[in-house]
Amino acid sequence: GEILVRTFTWGSSGVLTISDQMAEYASLEEALNSIGATNAQKITWIPEEYHLESIDVRTGEQLEFELWAFYRSEEGTIIFNISRREMNNEVYFTEKNEESTLRENSNYSLTVVENNGWIDIQWFDGEYNYSLTGTEGVSTMEKIVQSANLR
């Protein structure tokens, strides 16, 4: 069969881009610009073995949207989600097999949920909900979250 390989470029700006010309969006910045969410936080670092595979955006009424960025490696998956919804002030991914851990940041809390080998970190910045879900360990996932320049 045919093998499709996607690569990404990680420039000095920290922008992760898809080089595949078939992709609708080449970067988080491009996708967020297209829906008018230029002030949303963006992750700027992932472990080097991961590549940005695709970005999926669904828009709703008014300014509502849901964005998923999928990063893949041979060993795992990382999914970054940003949403702006009418009810935008709650942690929405609650199924878990262990208790969630609350981590305080200067402006808001990070909720860390462990669910059957997946780590999910959620936060809210006053305008957007964020979620980073993946198969990496908690310390790596927190480092990815910190790359979003938490405000």
Q: What is the mean pLDDT of residues 117-139?
A: 90
Average pLDDT over residues 27-38: 90
Report DSSP state, residue 130. E
| pTM attached to this predicted model | 0.74
Q: What is the pLDDT of residues 105-120, one digit of tens each?
A: 555 578 888 877 888 9
Whether 25 shows a pLDDT value over 70: the answer reads: yes
Return the C-alpha torsion angle 27, 33, 39, 42, nearest 10.
-10
Q: Is the pLDDT of residue 53 over 70?
A: yes
Of 72, 74, 88, which Cα lies nearest the Cα of 16?
72
Give tens-digit pLDDT for 71-85. 999 989 999 999 987
